[in-house]
Amino acid sequence: MAINKNYRASYYLAHREDALAREKRYRQSWTSAQKERRIAYDKAYHFAHREKRAEQHKIWSAAHPRQDRRAQQKIYRTKNRDRLRLGKKIRNAKRYRNLDYNMLNVSFPGSIGHHINDNDVVFIPANIHVSFSAGPKKNFHRERIMNYYGDLDNMINNLPLERICGG
């Protein structure tokens, strides 16, 4: 009986998605099962090696003065201003309004994220978002913007109902 030496490789290529999903589930379950053991180990290690760690921190701090780090942070903040603003909006939406931020389309200049439900966000032009004010009911604002676009596909592609119908 002849054994195909490349069977394992060919099987993996044919079932790659299943294998990756299985490996991911295994890693997640193993990590959650080992969490307490890892925390205890890290705590004991840090306690046993605190002098060595303090010495390494002093060496690193001397090589990286605080002013240099602040200058680098300032450069990063100026280069990534939009990214940081989006992160702040996501955190505040979660913290103050208990909303998730699953983005259904890509942001563009002059856009604002509009929650179509408590989980999903669609980026629409800011002038359209501001022109529909909030009302007495919770979903009044969402309903008015949805009526303006017609359906979700039009909203994701930023096609208002007038442009589609020719009105």
**pLDDT score at 100:** 83
At 33-50, the pLDDT tens digits run 888 899 999 999 999 999
Q: Which segments of 49-80 does DSSP mark as H helices, in order?
A: 50-63, 66-79
| Distance from C-alpha of 155 to C-alpha of 24, rounded to nearest angstrom | 34
Average pLDDT of the chain is 84
Q: What is the DSSP letter of 34?
A: T
| Distance from C-alpha of 85 to C-alpha of 104, rounded to nearest angstrom | 18
Side-chain half-sphere CA neighbours of 21 within 13 A: 4
Against a cut of 0.75, is the pTM above it?
no
Q: Which residues contact 101 (CB under 8 A, 6 or more apart)?
A: 89, 90, 93, 94, 113, 121
Q: Kind and range of the H or E element at 128?
A: helix 126-131
Counting as low any pLDDT under 50, the low residues of the chain are 1, 163-167
